Chains A and B, each alone.
Chain A
């Protein structure tokens, strides 16, 4: 073929995703964040396994076992992070809290991201009436005050984690939807989409096989940026008593620890605070690094 020489040779084997990953990995801060998140993720997995094991065996798990002789023990050899007002080990409860926090982050994202991606794709690609509908729906949801909307959904669904999942998932898809819609709008006019259309591909194929892989990084970035917010909301709801029921979530731990604080029992609150701080900080920093790597247009603004 004569035209072969004119086509610029793509850099061998380096995809956009791998390039971005290389850039994220190159930063020491990002690697530290990934390490912190890995530790918490493993703790959450272990917590999940332990939770399932004790549930299956039908015995009281150690993080619920009360030992009134060992109340308010300060951190020491037996209990690394001390015990709470019922003699329960704070470290074990903290791990269970991590389990619930990660569960909420993942499940609420599994609700929000598909809705946001689907609506954003449809609105951005088809435009017209479809876009009007998507814009109307997202504007409506966006104009309802966030935390109150979350509380209202959780109240209507009822106490428990299901309410938390739905409340966070159904209120946060709007951000994903807007970002994806704008990105699809931009991609739609690119050459490869026109080429695909000229080849007579169906809309579904163009949208989901050609455009979607080029915009899905937006969903990834918003996932990492949304995760800490979801954790914060879960802590808030559980603190109010409409989130996790009868399980040690970080919110319920703060709720009981704050009363003990006045009696000088600081370690429970300190442990939860440190755990939330570490996870949220790691997600915030990683989200920034990912955004810089995946969205070069924003890089100038970050300096």
Chain B
């Protein structure tokens, strides 16, 4: 048994790595520059660079020896806008021309900081183009050179005029894998989820504070829903084909088709505001939880009853049920003693896979009813573009889901001897 648990844990490693990679790609690669998001689009290049260096955002995303810098925007004279051309002193069209002996003047946004290593990559051609660099594709038109000195990442035409097509300034990284991805993984291993930009608090602390209220809402929903839907599904299966069964199935499909938002809006309006049966908003006593739990159960009930009913009916077509009936057992005994036990597997899986959602809480229920849980936190973070909070909630949710999957498999193996452990 323990070997099985260990094996499932090992199998989960690629998934966890995948989840880390997906969150990284989503928020760090696609998400754009966090510096511009925090400091604004018009911030000076120098303060943006300092922001990036302080947080490691200046490093390459995945790996590399060289990385870009904001001191000099990469330029390609083929399609540079007039403003950039004027900065470089280039003419109206074509590349930037240098006469013999002339040095390329770099329009740096700020002086390069001390202690770094720089590389200037110049693409161009002409009689004066230096040939001491690397040759590309058999032509001497591409030229790259590494400058170790800070002061003068320089380029000079010697022995004739030069036409330059593109210029790029790069900063050396500490080592090949010194990247944002590595930093991200290192931080996660230290359980450091970053800092919420809008609330100015460590994300880890926010998660811990939110998990209690979320569980207070979702655990009752899960339990009540499980009990009610299993009972209704058993009723349906017991009286299958009757008006009760058909009526319940029809009600379930109808319940499934009412939009989730509408449940909350109308439930809150009618039951809490108009009739005054429940408090409308807040998180002071258990009474505040009654209505959200009721609505939560109502929204999931239709799908759950149908699911359990299908499972129970599938079980009722099996041979052992026919045998039980044939030897004269009553319908109730077959249903509760034989069928329910054998249908336990899918029920356990279903419940286990619902467990991670206990943690995420219910986004809308929490914000509608003012329950300060993780759903509430997430929605606020979405509204204020708080990347670190969202990333942490997504990541922890995915890890819990993976854990719940393992839990489900182990529980299944435990209750059902037919499941092979190999």
Give residues in A with beta carbon < 8 Å to B.
136-137, 139-145, 147-149, 151-153, 155-157, 228, 232, 235-236, 239-242, 251, 254, 258, 261-262, 269, 272-273, 276-277, 280-281, 284-285, 288, 300-303
Contacts and interface: CB of A to CB of B under 8 A. Distances in A.
B253 A284 contact: yes
Interface stretch (B49-57, B80-88, B320-328, B378-386): B378-386
Given A144-B398, A145-B401, A254-B262, A280 B19 contact: no
B378 A302 contact: no
Contacts of B269: 258, 261-262
Interface stretch (B141-149, B310-318, B411-419): B310-318
A239 B402 CA distance: 30
A152 B394 CA distance: 8
Interface in B354-382: 356-357, 360, 363-364, 378-379, 382
A281 B253 contact: yes
B261 A236 contact: yes
A145 B253 contact: no
Interface of B is mostly: helix
Contacts of A144: 19, 22-23, 394, 397-398, 401
Interface of B: 14-15, 18-19, 21-23, 26-27, 30-31, 240-241, 253-254, 256-262, 265-266, 269, 273, 310, 313-314, 317, 356-357, 360, 363-364, 378-379, 382-383, 385, 390-391, 393-394, 397-398, 401-402, 405
A222 to B, nearest CB: 16
Given A143-B401, A254-B261, A303 B240 contact: yes
Nearest to A282: B257
Contacts of A269: 262, 265-266
A242 B27 contact: no
Contacts of B30: 156-157
B382 A242 contact: yes
A166 to B, nearest CB: 10
Contact of B258 (A137, A151, A277): A277
Contacts of B259: 232, 235, 254, 273, 276-277, 280
B335 to A, nearest CB: 15
A261 B31 CA distance: 37
A102 B240 CA distance: 36
A98 to B, nearest CB: 14
Nearest to B405: A143
Nearest to A288: B253
Nearest to A301: B314
